[in-house]
Structure 1
């Protein structure tokens, strides 16, 4: 509902929609000639199918379309990652490297996009503090991510049931991390931000803080970034299709990763939770979430509409043929990324050089913009 409402809203005075749904394949009119695109992903190791279809494949499309005066900045959100404690530093460092390898493996071109570690650019953290002085507790309290990550219970209508005891256990970093996300985006004066559906609420906060800063200091410094939603709907867990695909799921067969071998993919799809209707396959996310999730995955990979995929799978009258088809589509799509990931993960010096190069360019822009922000605020 929030997304549909946001699509209808128009940016004040400019009549520009604040949210746009990316086409299955982006074209050259998707971005204005001087756009700055920014997006990051948390380092949870090798990407899974949800990371790929819901976020990073759009990055690859943008690289292919990049024009000379456009700027692309993609990164590893390692500061966001520690809002849920990471006690094993060595494993966390490994996950950061795997995230960079995954970014390259899906086809992001480091010659066209700057690839960064969020934590290595201190201006992110400083702008977080400056913006936090403008962010209201009421706005942050309406955010849903900190509630879901704190395992706060939901009622039957989807509303979170928050009590004082729940709030008392929430860590400050988790509660305020949407402000840090706003700082990440606004630091580079980003105009477009490709994200998944679950981050659209945070982009509303980003626009709110940009507007509040501009009005408070009587300036027009920050643009209001447009949310670019991936065309693929949220990819759900193969084992529990009521929640999204995640590496942290205790059921290791619930997620498909870029480096999964074909036999592993076939096994996971074969075990994917579906339902008792086995002679016809159609899209109904409420009554048939498991089947609908598999149809959505095929739709995302093939860049086809849900309706076209449903027509394709209507020929099947048993689960074996249907799941074999889904497995084949996934295996073919990940054949290249799997090979590339294995290559890059074994070249740590190259990964380091890619990030160092990307951060040199990003740091220069971050330093200049924060210096301008200091002057505006009177520091």
Structure 2
């Protein structure tokens, strides 16, 4: 009889960020800032998903340093590694073990519907790695190896969470008899729910308001990096693309003005104010005045994070110790779950 956790699923949040280098304002407002808020309302596991990092590009310039940078950003932004679990994915081998089981649970038709593979593989799909094709199964394993109940997701990840639910449901159904026989209740895996935290902050390029802010953009002026100093932040906002019209006095006036809408959205996300309040203060004025206010606000919010990241990265031993401790605590949860999966499937152990 396995001693794995029983079917009552305690609330638990799983969140992951790829260590792809050059974390920017979009990563902070869209994910990391939300992670900081979540730790006050839920028990959380924060993972640097380094196994995912090699799905598109196998040979990374410095995966170790990129992993440390994401961890430093977590800590500098305010995530407490004592209250939560912070670790890098490859330390916990159960992620990969469960992913293989899920490769055998998931159906090809399910993966063929994944739009992100089509986007990332582009026209040369035959040359994409099988890891890129199957990584949604690994994402499901990331969540379910902890039997996490909630996952914060943006629009581009909802499809992957739906797949994780489908995999959990199929596993529960296919092995219903074995799950009951082993005394594991009527279901082994929860069906994870999306964690909605209000409107998602979608940060766009400072050079083109119709494209997401991205580290892959060839122009460094398209993004605010978390490692940018105050002068660089100011220069980038000064050069940010706008249009010749003054700011409108109400949100409706931002329609069909993507650059203006993006800058107002960034101000709103950094300040916590509504678009209405911001336009009530700055509407009708010139962009130069608003850009200066946005710069001052961004520097106030980001400079302490930038300074703390630099301090942490100067002490890699501390970061590594945080990840090691987090990995051990994550393994303590994942190992009995994986052992139970082996019992359910019928592996001899």
Asked whether the two chains share a fold, i.e. TM above 0.5, the reply is yes
Out of 168, 185, 188, the residue aligned to residue 210 of structure 1 is 168
Which residue of structure 2 lines up, in the alignment, with residue 268 of structure 1? 236
Q: Which stretches in structure 2 are left out of the alignment for 5+ residues?
A: 1-8, 177-185
Per-residue deviation, 1:184: 0.3
Cα distance, 1:310 vs. partner? 3.0
| Count of matched residue positions in the alignment of Structure 1 and Structure 2 | 328
Q: Which residue of structure 2 aligns with residue 78 of structure 1?
A: 50
> 1:13 — aligned with what?
none
Higher relative contact order (CA 8 A, sep 6+): 2
In structure 2, relative to structure 1, the CA distance for the partners of 1:184 and 1:371 (3 Å cut) is same
Cα deviation for residue 80 of structure 1 reads: 0.7
Q: Return the alpha-carbon distance in structure 1 between the equivalents of residues 90 and 247 of structure 2.
A: 51
Residues 132 and 179, structure 1, Cα contact 8 Å, conserved in 2: yes
Deviations 1:329-368 (A, max 9, x none): 2111112211211111111111011011111110111111
**Rg: which structure is higher?**
2
Q: 1:307 to 1:279 in 2, by over 3 A?
A: closer
TM-aligned CA distance change 1:268 to 1:229, over 3 Å: farther
User: 1:22 — aligned with what?
Assistant: none
Provide the C-alpha distance between the structure 1 equivalents of 2:18 and 2:137, rounded to a whole number of angstroms: 16
* Residue 280 (structure 2) pairs with residue 308 (structure 1): no
Determine whether 1:221 maps to 2:188: yes
The answer to whether the Cα contact below 8 Å between 1:280 and 1:318 also exists between their aligned partners in 2 is no
Q: CA deviation at 1:318?
A: 1.0
Question: Could you say which residue in structure 2 is the equivalent of 1:241?
Answer: 209
What is the SS of the residue equivalent to 2:222? coil
RMSD: 1.9
The match for 2:14 is 38
SS in 2 for 1:370: helix
Q: Does 1:115 align with 2:86?
A: yes
**Runs of 5+ consecutive residues of structure 1 not aligned to the other structure:** 1-32, 153-165
1:279 Cα deviation from its structure 2 partner: 5.2
- Distance in 2, matches of 1:329 and 1:74, equals 27
Under a length normalisation based on structure 2, what TM-score does the superposition of the two structures give? Answer: 0.88
| Structure 1 segment 91-130 matched on structure 2, within 5 A | 91-130=62-101
SS at match of 2:232: helix
TM-score by length of 1: 0.82
In structure 2, the CA distance between the partners of 1:327 and 1:87, relative to structure 1 (3 Å rule), is same
Q: Residue 372 of structure 1: which of 328, 333, 340 is its match?
A: 340
2:132 to 165, 174, 186: 174
- Determine which structure has the larger helix proportion and give its number: 2
